[in-house]
Structure 1
Amino acid sequence: MRSPARIVLAVLGIGAAVASCSSETETEDTNPVTTAVVVDPEQFLGSLPCGTLEGGPRSYIASVTDLDTGEVIGTSERVSCATPLAFTKDVESGNRYSASVQVFEEAPGESAGEPRWTTTCGENGEGAAEARTLQQVVIRGCTAITGPGTATTSIAIDATAAAQTLGCADDPKMPGLVFDIDIIPVEPADTKLPEVTRECGQGPLVYSGSFVEPGVTYTFRLESTDIALEQQFATTCTATALEGFGVTAECGQLTDLGTAVFPIVEITEDAALICGEDLTRARISIPAGPEHLEPTYVDCDEDVTIPGLPAGSYLGRVELLADASAIATYSCTATVDPAAITELVCVAED
């Protein structure tokens, strides 16, 4: 759900966009101040985000029609597709309103030609907004814009942004920890995208061409060491390729921490015991490793995740309890990697 947005109240005449500051005001959409019908980009953008895709939507023009009179009550100027528009002039309480929308690849301040997409909202009354006194009512029933964009189908990996927290080692103003970053395609498993090494500080790496297939979700692992080659860092990036769009992958920050999972459910099954009948709970611990976990009571019917562990080898222990007595004990091992989830391998003790 979007956080409270800024709505532009467009006080518009029939067929004319009023661009002067005196004819438009802004208000929080959670604090209606006048009778209005609203065109909200969330209703027609579908799966395309505003402003973040090369070749994607950046601005739009909306016209609103009074379905009860058949008159167009106003047409907006071209505004950002992140901005809902509220039409107030000539809006009559009880009347129903639809909208026609033109969507552009260009930002509001750029010169634009023909719209890349067109769509309608509330057409034929389905999803139309019925105006209510002193309320802002959203026009719904929009047909989501679809179809390929006009850019090259591509995925960008910004490895330098993923190192923002740790910093680049050769930054002259504030030297950090990261030097080179390996970008490793992980999924799909049969991907032909190459592994690439980038220096921290370089611009985004862009994958394109026939190896980037529209509709496919790609996962990448970013790996690095500090300049002294003593500490390892990693994170993951994901992106779904869209035909005709340049997509920037979402990446976490490089970290030296990973996650371990105690497979409690698997252990109880291996012990042929039933939680709630034979068992009341379990007790886990990590007695050896870069970080220790003191004995901790946990439920016996679900796995336990331990995040924030420094990378390295760990020894774990699981005790299955009936009241206070351990009726089965397992020794566990795992090598935790940065930015990875590792399940401990557990074996019953004699």
Structure 2
Amino acid sequence: MTELINLHYPLTDLPQLNTDQVLAMGFFDGVHRGHQKVIKRAAQVAHDQGQPLAVLTYSPYPGLVFEKIAQPWHYLTPLAEKVDLLGQLGVDRVYCLQLTSHVADLDPEAFITGVLQPLRAATVVAGFDHKYGADKYEADMAHLPTYAKGRFEVVTVGKETLDADDRKIASRQIRADLAAGDLTAVTASLGRVHQTTGLVVHGDARGRTLGYPTINIWTPELESLPGLGVYAVRTEVDGHWYDGMASIGRNITFEANRPVTVEINLFDFADQVYGETVKIEWHTKLRDEVKFTTVEALIDQLNGDRDQTKEYFQTKAN
């Protein structure tokens, strides 16, 4: 299991290290294909040198420290999920450094002597566009070999592109694609289906009267949901996965100005699971949220959504 070590600068409570290690640096929100390229390169270096592989990441999102951002911030991968995904890529330990104004304003020499050297970095690996300080210090990967002065090796990993247009895979673009409901682009960039978690809570129970009972999901505030609409999803409940269709919306057919809710109709499922924590895989968008003039029209649409979802998963299975 990957070890998570939370750090605060200055690193006065750093656990004792018995060996040098390869250190991959980055925020890694989403652990997308570009991030995976960095970690895989670092893993190869660690294997070749017979050293542990560690990651230095940060909390909170750097933009919250460097600029004004609307609250709350939503992560593609909250820290626990990030650590799990990094572990699957062979990372032995993850250092999560609290990103404060003092850390953000460290000059490169102070960052090296105050962070990288205490972590016993024999080789530092990062993406070509990674920065480890304020712009005024030229704290980028292009200058890191000079700042290192032979104290550690530096490996810079080039960009990973999404298509023939040579677009760099980036967390910012993935968030935009997710908000637009473009799950095809999200999946292509992440290299996996986007996943969120949630708690099953009580709703209006209106779905039962329509013949489409739903589980209502409270989503943790820091997690990133797709935009409003109806989606084909898979949901893990108590260790079992079920196909289904999810609505992210305001139920505008029945009432105006309602808060956004997440409701999932699971196929071949009839259990009561209030209080269960579930995982949701967001596979593809079926349609936008629509206001129907009659309940019958809504039921006809739900029948079509169900058929489309079942066809999608049947095709995917084949």
TM-score, normalised to structure 2, is: 0.25
* More helix by percentage: 2
* More strand by percentage: 1
TM-score, normalised to structure 1, is: 0.24
Q: Which structure has the larger Rg?
A: 1
